Chain A
Amino acid sequence: MTRPRTPDHQTESQARKPAGATAMRLIVPLQGVVQGRGGLILGSLIPCALFYFFQLYLKRHRSPKSDSNNISPSQSSSNLAGLQRSSSRSNLSSRGSIGRVQVSSRASSIAKPNDSPYYIGLDKASEDPYDRFYNPNGIIQLGLSENRLCFDLIEKWLSENLNDSVIGSNGGELSITGIAGYQPFDGLMELKVAMAGFMSQIMGRAVSFDPSLMVLTSGATPALEILCFCLADPGNAFLVPTPYYPGFDRDMRWRTGVELIPVHCRSADNFIISLTALDQAFNQARKRGVKVRGILISNPSNPVGNLLPRETLNNILDFAQEKNIHIISDEIFAGSTYGNEEFVSMAEILDSEGIDKSRIHLVYGLSKDLSLPGFRVGVIYSFNESVFVAAKRLTRFSAISAPTQWLLVSMLSDTRFTRAYIETSKKRIREIHDLFVAGLNQLGIRSAMSSAGFYCWADMSGLILSYSEKGELELWDKLLNVAKINVTPGSACHCIEPGWFRCCFTTLSQEDIPIVMERIRKVAETCK
């Protein structure tokens, strides 16, 4: 682009002084070409060619950059940031190399070592897990959202009913082809019916679910990914209120190429989403030329644990209607409530009003409420016909194993068991929650109001040295490496205020709590 500039300048002077033109032509061949025969063609051809190469140049240099954008702009802390940035470099080098066979650029960006403190902590904790007897100096896992409080109930049920449920009772109807043979990828109808029953039991009141709107997947993770594939094209975006579940970054972005736009909620509002913030984020995205396809909410929220009030849900619905976008409501913790507030499902709101249902999609699963993450059962519940059909087809890539499905059919149909289970589970979560929060309070650490989920969202901003993401990650590092407690820092959840930490308490037994508190106390003292 720069090159033609000189010759063109001379064009002017030349037009005025035809005499010197020949000399000039020798000096500036381009000029000669322009004015000579074929000038028109070459005069446009050459800039075009230059422009083409310019575009090529830009394209080459742009693609690696956009890759590194994908990798989440959030986390920093010096060593983490280093890891993140190297991704784009590895892309380049693989492109340049000839001898070694290439892997796709999306794979190489996924294959990089974990960069989020969330995953680093999980890995560390799994390498050196705490055990009261065998490894008392190990790391206590408060980062993985698992509920171990009610395993005894499941075990008891299994030992009583296992034979009948997998192989069929007394030579009953269930033949071997039902287990071993091909089954519909989107789940057995029997399980959908049982699941619908279980869900209405959980959501309480008069919400009813229609099994024919249900698609079952191998975990809630693929359920989210499939919805994301179905609702947005690459480059489109979802609005997500922060702080949000760190896994969303993987589920929604990795393979789908969809962006997540954080909508910041603040501690002053107890981290409840405000419509103005939504609107602002939407407009900003539009200005950037990004198409927003939907809102992704978790209700009960992960990590905060609060519930969205009916009014907020109505507002979100109106907002979605106005902007003509989708709503994905992740209600995977719906049955793990323990507070006094009532949980309101998006499905309930829909039942009561005559709204355009085709924009509402619920995600559910058995990993939390039935504490069976190992079974890998997720649910998409969608009112949108094309989403339903597409999702159904896409389950060929994440179907649930048939023996597991049959087992669950009988477990979920045993309503006496499920009712007792839900009650006990709520009670036990509440107990451990109260203990844990009281323990933190004694250390002077307060936590956000919560009434559901497995977490306590603790405000440790008093313990961080610099009020910034860096300070937060330093504290996280201390907790992990000195106190040997793996918690999730707020920045991993894209929380805009530093100093918040997510502590999962459902993996603990009551005896563990004093140990956890003692460990935190030691760190807290060094911080103060």
Chain B
Amino acid sequence: MTRTRFSRTGSSEEEAKPTTSSGGGGGTAMRVIVPLQGVVQGRGGLFLGSVIPCALFYFLQLYLRRNRSEPSTPPPPQPTEGEESSPSSSSTGQLAEVSVLQRSLSRSHLSPRSAGGPIFVSGRAVSVAKRGDSPYDVGMRKVSENPYDELENPDGVFQLGLAENKLSLDLVRDWLADNARDAILGGGRSGAELGIGGIASYQPFDGLMELKVAVAGFMSQVMEKSVSFSPSQIILTAGAAAAIEMLSFCLADSGNAFLVPTPYYPCFDRDLKWRSGVEIIPVPCRSADNFSLSIMALDRAFNQAKKRGIKVRGIIISNPSNPVGNLLDRETLYGLLDFAREKNIHIVSNEIFSGSTHGDEEFVSMAEIIDLEDLDRNRVHIVYGLSKDLSLPGFRVGIIYSFNENVLAAAKKLTRFSSISVLSQRLLVSMFSDTKFIQNFIEINRARLRGMYIKFVSGLKQLGIKCIKSNGGFYCWADMRGLICSYSEKGELELWEKLLNIAKVNVTPGSCCHCIEPGWFRFCFTTLTEKDIPVIMERIRKISETCKSSC
């Protein structure tokens, strides 16, 4: 392309010269100096005079685009050392490596494109495959290799990084032992009318209507209010991760963005970005405000994104928040709605912990706010699931509750890619229909959660570690700023590494949750038994002593 165009320029210059000689005097000098000018004035000038600048401009754009796409992908700043380190991977622990690997991802996009010999794998697959060496993943791997067991492996690693609730599994087990058989074979209700066809054959991908009705009932029961959920607005997916991904597909095109208050759930990065190509714009919340969301910060982030030319399509909030565990109050929710209305964007409210509240504050669901306000329902989407509140993550049940018809229609079709096994659905339908069991479960689970929370927080307090007051969820968000040597992400990760490798406690560092203040850690306490708490506190104490003495 370029070559032909250059040759064309050349020839037209030759054409241009004769004409100029017949023209005025001073012009020649100018023309020699500025060939472009000559071209413009010569014959065919009209054509070439516009084509050449256009071509130049086009190449400029091309150049700019190439150089731009690179830096825009890696969100964490700071240039890195290992320029061609992309194919390397794994090797745990090392801080330096962790940060390098994360950032190298954008470069890995480029490398397969140029490769000739070996079979090509898509750029997105490469980037997905590369990931997984954030401290979050490293911690998970360490635990799975060497899990703590009171009797068999007392030196193993404690899992405080995975949001799982094991406090009330005994209740679920007892129920299953008594009822699973009837539930699956359809004996539970009106004879065996369903039969095998009801389990084995194709059912609607977006979930059985019976289960939707049951889940709607469960949700209003759990939220303890007069909020009612309409089963026809429910879409069931294989886990909340799929629900979030589906919503991000439906609400944003690739290259668009969502505003997400930080610190946020580390896996949002996967659920929103991996396949849907949506960006996350962090809206930092600070310890000074107890990490509660301010509309001002939202507004600032929105405007900055707009300046960068990025379309913001929505806000994603977690309420109760993960990792902090605080609740959004009614006022903030109204503020959010107003903000969303003003900017004409969506709100995705992740309320997966709404039944796991353990404080005195009341939980207010977005659905309740919307119930009172008739307008604007179209922009509100609620994500829920049974992994937390019913402690059944293995069942993989997520829920999209949306008021937007288009979103419902699209999500319904997309569930072909993440539907729930009908067998498990039947099991759940009959579990929910046992209202006595459900009522009992919610009460007992909440009481146990509260008990555990109080014990764990007071244990940390004795070590001089304070936590943000939490009202929901399985976490405590601990302030360990006093224990880090350098007040930076590096210092934080050093402490995290000590906790993991020396104290053998896997926690989630704040930087994984994109918290802007270093030194905060997420502890999940619902995987523990009460006996474990002293053991953990002792382990943390040892580390904190070495930290205090060495810094």
Interface set of A (CB-CB < 8 Å, partner B)? 1, 4-5, 8-9, 11-12, 15-16, 18, 34-35, 39-40, 43-45, 47-48, 50-52, 98-108, 110-111, 144, 146, 148, 151-152, 154-155, 158-159, 162-163, 166-167, 175-183, 218-219, 221-222, 225, 229-233, 236, 250-251, 254-255, 293, 324-326, 356, 358-359, 371-377, 384, 386-387, 389-390, 393-394, 396-404, 407
Distance, CA A244 to CA B275, complexed state (A): 26
Query: Quick check: A8 and B164 within 8 Å, CB to CB?
Result: no
- CB distance A326 to B119 under 8 Å? yes
List the A side residues contacting B19 at CB < 8 Å.
12, 15-16
Find out whether the CB atom of B123 lies under 8 angstroms from the CB atom of A233: yes
Which of A8, A15, A47, A163 lies in contact with B181, CB distance below 8 A? A163
Q: Which residues of B contact A8 (CB under 8 A)?
A: 40, 45-47, 49-50
Segment with Cβ contacts to A, from B216-224, B413-421, B444-452, B539-547: B413-421
Cα–Cα distance between A326 and B125 once the two chains are bound (Å): 14
A residues within 8 A CB of B267?
396
Contact B46 A402 (CB under 8 A): no
* Residue from A16, A43, A103, A180 in contact with B391 in the complex, judged by beta carbons closer than 8 Å: A180
Contact with A along B167-185 (1 / 0, CB 8 A): 0011011001100110011
Q: A373-B201, A398-B417 are in contact. Are A176 and B170 (CB under 8 A)?
A: yes
Minimum-distance CB pairs A-B, first 7 = A8-B46, A402-B394, A374-B422, A401-B424, A230-B125, A176-B173, A107-B250
A34 adjacent to B46 (CB under 8 Å): no
A225 to B274, CA, bound (A): 14
Which chain B residues (398-432) contact chain A, with CB distance < 8 Å?
A: 404, 406-407, 409-410, 413-414, 416-424, 427
Of all chain B residues, the one with the shortest Cβ separation from A356 is: B119
Please give 4 more A-B residue pairs, beta carbons under 8 A apart, in addition to A236-B122, A293-B122.
A16-B19, A34-B40, A44-B56, A111-B413
Q: Please tell me if the beta carbons of A401 and B41 are within 8 angstroms of each other in the complex.
A: no
For residue A404, which residues in chain B have a CB less than 8 angstroms away from its CB? Answer: 421, 423-424
User: Is chain B's binding surface mostly helix, strand, loop or mixed?
Assistant: helix
B97 CB, nearest partner CB in chain A, Å:
18
In the bound complex, residues from chain B placing their C-beta under 8 Å from that of A146 are 201-202
Judge whether A158 and B421 touch: CB under 8 Å: no
A103 touching B125, Cβ below 8 Å = no
Does B181 contact A394, Cβ atoms closer than 8 Å? no
Which of A40, A178, A373 sits near B37, CB closer than 8 Å?
Answer: A40
Name the residue among A8, A326, A384 with the largest chain B CB count within 10 angstroms: A8
Stretch of B73-81, B236-244, B513-521 at the chain-chain interface:
B236-244
Given A103-B410, A166-B176, A393-B132, A144:B185 Cβ within 8 A: no
Q: Is B454 an interface residue (CB 8 A)?
A: no
Query: Is B502 an interface position by the 8 A CB rule?
Result: no
Q: Do A16 and B23 form a contact, CB below 8 Å, given A102-B313, A229-B125?
A: yes
Q: How far is the CB of B298 from the nearest CB of chain A, in Å?
A: 17
Closest chain B residue to A367, Cβ basis: B202
A396 contacts across to B, CB distance below 8 A? 239, 241-242, 267, 270-271
Contact A107 B249 (CB under 8 A): yes
The answer to whether A107 and B406 touch across the interface, beta carbons within 8 angstroms, is yes
Q: Are A407 and B413 in contact (CB under 8 A)?
A: no
Contacts of A9 in B (CB 8 A): 46
13 contacts between A and B (CB under 8 A): A8-B40, A18-B23, A48-B57, A107-B251, A108-B410, A176-B170, A180-B172, A181-B169, A254-B414, A393-B270, A397-B275, A400-B238, A403-B421
Is B346 close to A, CB under 8 A?
Answer: yes
Within 8 A of A (CB), among B84-106: none
* Docked CA distance A151–B202 (Å): 13
**B250–A148 CB distance below 8 A:** no
